[in-house]
Structures are given as C-alpha cells and as structure tokens.
Amino acid sequence: MSGDQQRMSIDNDKLPISPKALVVHDPLLNQGGQSNLFVFAGNRDTMQNGTAEAVVCNSKKLEDAMQEIGLKIKHHEDNIKFLKAQKNKLDDSILDLQVSLGKIHSTCGTDSENKESSNGWSEEETSEKILRLDKSAAGICCQLKTDHGSQITHIPLMKDVMGIVALLGKVDDDNLSRLLSDFLGLETMLAVVCKTQDGLKALETYDKEGFINKSSGLYGLGAAIGRDLDDPFLVICLGNLRPYAGEFIADDPQRRLDLMKPRWDNGETPPGFLGFAVNMINIDTANLYWATSTGHGLRETLFYKLFSRLQVYKTRADMLQALRVITDGAISLDGGIIKRDGVFVLGKREVEIKFPKSSRSSNIPENYFDTESRMKELKWKRERFLEDLQREQSFLDQAKFNFEIKKQEFVKFLAHSSSYVTATQVPAGGERSTPIS
C-alpha cells in the first residue's frame, strides 16, 4: 500500500493530546522541499528514531506555547471577573446614595417656594436689605424689579441687565451662604450683572468733557424714582468673561461643573474636603438655561469667575492641612477663609448681604454634602473600573486570537507530520516496516 493510502484523518476541532504526533517544522525536509529519505536509506532505524525524537520535541514546544497562552487567557478572565464584581458593588452603593438624596430632595421639595426658613434668609429678605441701600445701583435695580416685576424688560436700559449677584444664586445652608458672601465681599455681592457690553455702556454715559451724565443711564432712572445714585458700583459683563471650558457632571439638573478634586501625591483627597463653592450655588430654573451668545450659562461664566476653584472644607484644621493643594482659595464651615495667593482673612466679620437660602433645602441634614461628595467619589471610581475592564477585555481578545493562530498551526502540523511518519515506515522494496512504537 502506498504512503498516500496510509495518511491519517485529522479532526480540526479536537486537539490530540499525544505529544508524539506534534511537530512544527519537518526536520527531514531540505530547503528544496525534497526528502532526505534516500540519503539515510542505509540506516533506516536511526532515521526513524530521529524523526520520533523531533516529533516529541516539537510537539512539546507547541504544547508549552498553547499552555502559556491558556494561562494568560485565564489570568485576564479572572481580572475581568474581579473588576465586574467591584463595579457591581459600586453600582449598588451609588444607587443607595441616589435613593437617599432623592428622599431628601422629595422631602425638602414640599416646602413652599417662598417660605422663609427659620435659620436662613429668603429671597424677599435679601431684596429688602438691598432696597435699604438707598444710593446704590443694586438698590435702584431692586426697586425697579419690585415696581415693574416681569415688565422690567420693557425698560430699554434694564433689558440687558441680568440682575444683582446676591439674587442670582441660592445656597442650601445659611452658614455656607454667609461664608461665600463674606468671601466675595459686599461690593461684589451688590454688583450689577449685564448680559452684553452694550448693556454695560448704557448704564453710564459721559458728556464731552468726560464727566458722568447724571440725567441718563442708571443715574437718570434712579432720579426718576427718587433714588439718587451716588455710590460707586461694580458691573460684571457676562459676554466678556472667560468661561469654564471643561465638562459638566453627568445627569445633574443644575449643570454643575465636573472639576477635578484636590489630591495628595498618593491620589487621596484631603480629609474634610466637601466640594467646590461654584457647585454649591443653586440657580433658579428661570436662569438655569440662559446662555450667552457663545452658549455658556451663569455657572460657567458668572459664578466660575467669582469663585473659580474655591474649595470648601469642614474645619479650619482640615483647610490648613490641605494648604499645599489649595490653588484658588478655600473656606471652612467654622469660619475660616483663605483668599487667593495665600491671603488669610482673620477676625470677626459682619455680613450685610447674603445669598438667599434655597427654600427646597430648609430641611437638608448636616451630612447632605458628605453624601453628595461620597456619591461623586464612587462615580469617579466606577469610571476607573470601566476603563480597567475595557483594557483587560482587549488583552483577553488578543490572547484568544493568539490561541486560535497557534491552534491552526498545530492542526496543520498534525496533518503534515502524520503523513510524513507514515511515508518513512514504508521500506524501499514496498513492504511495510515495523511501526515506530
């Protein structure tokens, strides 16, 4: 029977486990592809034994290579299993915190919008205190708003005026409101906010000699309602501010800024850190979706300009311990204030004008900010686990691909080596020799 008739049938789907059948390259083929069988015909037993040894050696190499890839696959699968378990735990924790915060919002949302809190100022009280400043620009604007309500936009001069800083945001906690207001100072709290530079120009005009024209602009309006404007005042033009250019916190109805937390060299957040002041300002729905001509809202223009990355801590001790990672100032809930460039504010201070307290938050518990901060931290960790999962999955896919390549090489070798071994068992006279054991 010829060598072709003795070829073995190979099942590509079931890998044989006998090492005697495995080889990568045929050691008895020369570069021209011709067999050296006749060269060694005089010593057939030696040649056959050499072939068997080559089969065993090369099969061992292939088995080792496939085993190594298999271990890598197992390693990446274990990593993915661990990461998924950790991500699931984070998902459960985040869900629990969301439910907790949701209950707080639901409870606090039952309060009347205009209800005055027992431990904080309402918007009406803030307006009343501003109205008492007879000769101020803020007082005139508040008087016009009181007299005309929503019709104030029909006054050409006031059409471009957004409002007064102190009335454009609310704060959940009265103590925090006092601290943020103290940080800004009275002059800034009473600043008039304009949408564009045209509104800025309309507020104050000048005669040919460069003196203020008291019969036009905000001066003329003040005189018309019996409130002469004598005090200097700040005007903030939103269109001229350099806005925050980063991302927003996902699914946050207040569109808070996604700012990177301060961290030590080891990656840990300083103890007592509660968040950034710019994100602790609540903006009324009426102004929340207002945007400049370039598409930027109040938080990323006005309040980012005023507070930048001002950090909020529980205590002075926490704040002082974190000095090395404070870049744009900090405040603490027990009254500590650090201005930018390391300027400390000391002594007892009186705050005349404060941000109103959010009526929906009058019953917010003390751990509210801790809970919110904890949830943000868990979401950040979840994002890191998702990145690790994607990386491990790509490693696993590559390992499986390499295994398939090696498997194909293995099957091709089986087909080649089995036919070659069969051919070497047929002697020159055509009779079958004793098979290699």
Q: Which residue has the higher pLDDT, 57 or 194?
A: 194
What is the side-by-side strand order in the sheet with 273-276? 273-276, 311-313, 330-332, 337-338, 344-345
- Boundary residue ending a domain (321, 336, 362): 362
**Per residue in 297-350, pLDDT tens?**
999 999 999 999 999 999 999 999 999 999 899 999 988 899 876 777 777 777
The answer on 273 and 144 residing in a single domain is: yes
The answer on 295 and 375 residing in a single domain is: no
The answer on 234 and 344 residing in a single domain is: yes
Quote the Cα angle for 191-195-201, to 5°.
75
> Residue 166 pLDDT > 90, yes or no?
yes
- Residue 279 to residues 172, 322, 344: CA-CA distances in angstroms? 11, 20, 23
Residue 153 gets which letter from DSSP? Answer: G
**What is the three-class DSSP state of 102?**
helix
- Boundary residue ending a domain (332, 362, 392): 362
Tell me which residue range forms the domain holding 245. Answer: 112-362
Total domains, the chain: 2
In this prediction, residue 277 carries a pLDDT of 95
**Per residue in 63-119, pLDDT tens?**
788 888 888 898 989 989 898 888 888 887 887 777 666 655 555 543 433 343 445
The answer on 292 and 143 residing in a single domain is: yes
The answer on 232 and 92 residing in a single domain is: no
The answer on 226 and 107 residing in a single domain is: no
The answer on 395 and 352 residing in a single domain is: no
In this prediction, residue 320 carries a pLDDT of 92
The answer on 422 and 305 residing in a single domain is: no
In this prediction, residue 273 carries a pLDDT of 92
Q: Which residue has the higher pLDDT, 52 or 176?
A: 176
Specify the CATH number for the domain of residue 40.
1.10.287
Cβ atoms 233, 138 nearer than 8 A:
yes
The answer on 162 and 124 residing in a single domain is: yes
Across 7-21, 188-202, 256-270, least confident range:
7-21
